[in-house]
Amino acid sequence: MQKVYLDHASTTPVDPRVQEKMNLYLSKEYGNPSAIYEIGRKAREAVDNARETVANIFGGAADEIIFTGSGTESDNLAILGVARGYGRDSKFKHIITSKVEHHAALRAVEHLEKKEGFKADYLKPDQYGTVNPNQVATAITEETVLISLIFANNEIGTINPIHEIGKVIAKKKKEWKRGPTEPPFFHTDACQASEYLDLDVKKLGVDLMTINGSKVYGPKGVGALYRRRGIKLEPLVFGGGQEFKFRSGTENVSGIVGLAEALKIASKDREKESLRVSALRDRLIKGIEENIPRVVLNGHPTERLPNNVNMSILDIEGEAMLLYLDAKGIAASTGSACDSSSLEPSHVILGIGRPYEHAHASMRFTLGRGTTKKDIDYLLEVFPEIVLMLRKISPMRS
């Protein structure tokens, strides 16, 4: 049976070139970067070199890169760290986000609302999941401490106009005569974008940016946060003061080295791989629309990630489709991998104004470096038969 992996938004395999770089620091150069003897100095040098690599890709400085344990931790450090750093004893108690953010961001904002006295506006995106810069301009106030908006949506693949939103925020700061280390600040979660989109923070106009390893053919258990120099962050983890005192704990040297190498490879191959994968994505969308009736594409038709296909296959539960696809050797998803154990409908599909039936029937196919035309054609061969069979027995059938 053919095996087809179409869940790259959930996680990616470690690139062999990345693994080769990591192996040295898992076995031979295993020292603690805080140690002053030779094996520790070599580990420190590896972390410093990785930090420089990531900084160069982001268009920032090395001391603006904080290594973390995940994208979720980076989101939390950005949101909770800035809010607490500026808003505890001041007027800066307002946060702007959207209804379709990753739960790592949403849950952090909700905590600040419920437990720490902050107020939040959850912007409603348009039918494609796009946040309009004018919405941000309307919502922002002189008490806003942070705007946190995802770069490319993890479920439906829609790419937000981050650069234009950044210009809106910069204009407001200029009107209020505020400097770069004064609120409001702009944070974006770029975890899904890191394989395919330009991560230059100056072009984007962001103050903080989240990425992680598992979405870019790097290791799991490592992430990074870009923080513009001078912005105050209250740490989430206390201890020995590693990562400029923002994230204590012995550094995951092999993971950090792997993350930097993965980002370097992605940056080098981005344009070529985006063209290749987007052609396969469009082939899959066209094939589903031509061979399966009653389907709806979720997300923007053009301003979307090259590898993302999210469709509601109406009259069927997404979980049932997953099980039958798995029996055919095809791995896919019904939405965010972080919520894969939940039977709740996708908050993203609901957030763009679609009914519960569309949310329960959504399927996410996310392509990757190993995806071939043969894989797409195999899915298009077996998927219509699965849908036809399930619709015959589905209680959702109208």
Longest pairwise C-alpha distance within the chain: 71
| CA dist., res. 66 & res. 62, Å (int) | 9
What is the β-pairing status of strands 4-5 and 144-148? Answer: unpaired
Q: CB–CB of 313/295 below 8 Å? A: yes
| CA dist., res. 86 & res. 63, Å (int) | 20
| CA dist., res. 29 & res. 40, Å (int) | 8
| CA dist., res. 175 & res. 344, Å (int) | 43
Element containing residue 242 per DSSP (H, E): none
- Catalytic choice (62, 331, 338, 380): 338
Residue by residue, DSSP assigns 7-76 as BTTT--PPPHHHHHHHHHHHHTS---TT--SHHHHHHHHHHHHHHHHHHHHHTS-GGGEEEES-HHHHHH
Q: Residue 146: which of 188, 114, 103, 177 has the closest Cα?
A: 188
Helix (H, G, I), strand (E, B) or coil at 102: coil
Place of tokens 């296959």: 313
Q: Is 338 a catalytic residue?
A: yes
Q: CB–CB of 348/24 below 8 Å? A: no
CA angle 236–238–244, rounded 5-degree value = 85
- Among all residues, which ones are annotated catalytic? 338
